[in-house]
Structure 1
């Protein structure tokens, strides 16, 4: 798998992944409904690279975009680890491979910031990835802002989180 910073030319491929309902089984409301939503997200991802020198990568296999993910600074308080893969690229260990590379890069770029992965409790596959890459469950509670009032958020991190750092993951 090749990991590259996103480019303007990746817009259509990223939209293919982020608009596919099969990539949003754990959070259907998160699906990108139109190209404008993907465009806005791509602008934020490009800004992460400009401002912090690191952000989420575009994952390619044989030149084909199969996913997107990595670590991005959020609220200047933590590195947020996240990813999304095309359905045909799931369940092949790519999320673990990408996550390991992302944690290494984040620790090199700004080691003072914790690496955090937050996910919904029913997303067992993402919890397994978080644990495989050495993150530890630090918090379990309501997922504020989720359209499903019964949704539970899990927060994993590479170290203990201060109250302020944990609060930043809830925004």
Structure 2
């Protein structure tokens, strides 16, 4: 898989993936519209500009211009503290191929290799078994619950840099 910083030209893929109700089945806020997708993409690009890291656009090697998902690590307030958050979302036709786990592993390795943070968190809904499997396969452990913007508490996962084997 090819991973690169998000770009303005990713907006159609962002709308196609994030605007697809199937990718928001467990989101109590519902599916974002095109304007919300554009706002998120702009915020992600601003995060890259401000911090030098953030969420990536993902593509397969055989078709590097077709964005199939988004994800990576970015700063997020978790329990009132600035923290690294692992995020991933792929087009439904890409589900079940291990791509989210591959992206999660790459994001964790990149974060611990280049950032001073000792912990990365992942947040998902308790009924989102696919995301729970991905976080677990990436080496993360459930550490409790956290209240997010909307709805009931979400499940909080974390991994400490010492728990991840990074090849030199």
TM-score (norm 2): 0.85
Contact 1:17 1:85 in 2 (8 A): yes
Which residue of structure 1 lines up, in the alignment, with residue 165 of structure 2?
none
Which residue of structure 2 lines up, in the alignment, with residue 165 of structure 1?
none
Does residue 1:136 correspond to 2:138, yes or no?
no
Secondary structure of the corresponding residue to residue 26 of structure 2:
coil
CA distance in 2, matches of 1:55, 1:30: 24
Which residue of structure 2 lines up, in the alignment, with residue 29 of structure 1?
29
Q: Which blocks of at least 5 consecutive residues in structure 2 are unaligned?
A: 161-168
CA distance in 1, matches of 2:148, 2:68: 30
Counting matched residue pairs gives: 155
Which residue of structure 1 lines up, in the alignment, with residue 100 of structure 2?
95
Shift of the 96–39 alpha-carbon distance from structure 1 to 2, 3 Å rule, reads same
Which residue of structure 2 lines up, in the alignment, with residue 84 of structure 1?
89
Contact 1:78 1:113 in 2 (8 A): no
Which residue of structure 1 lines up, in the alignment, with residue 164 of structure 2?
none
Shift of the 28–17 alpha-carbon distance from structure 1 to 2, 3 Å rule, reads farther
CA distance in 1, matches of 2:66, 2:153: 34
Query: Quick check: 127-136 or 21-30, which moved more?
Result: 21-30
Compare the two structures and name the one with the higher strand fraction: 2
4+ long deviations beyond 3 Å: none
- The CA deviation at 1:32 is 1.2
Contact 1:79 1:113 in 2 (8 A): no
Does residue 1:154 correspond to 2:155, yes or no?
yes
CA distance in 2, matches of 1:16, 1:70: 19
Once the two structures are superposed, the pairs formed by residues 44-83 of structure 1 within 5 Å of their partners are: 44-61=43-60, 62=63, 63-75=65-77, 77-83=82-88
- The CA deviation at 1:39 is 1.2
Which residue of structure 2 lines up, in the alignment, with residue 5 of structure 1?
5
Contact 2:84 2:121 in 1 (8 A): yes
Which residue of structure 2 lines up, in the alignment, with residue 116 of structure 1?
121
- The CA deviation at 1:29 is 2.4
- The CA deviation at 1:58 is 0.4
Q: Which blocks of at least 5 consecutive residues in structure 1 are unaligned?
A: 160-171
TM-score (norm 1): 0.83
Contact 1:11 1:38 in 2 (8 A): yes
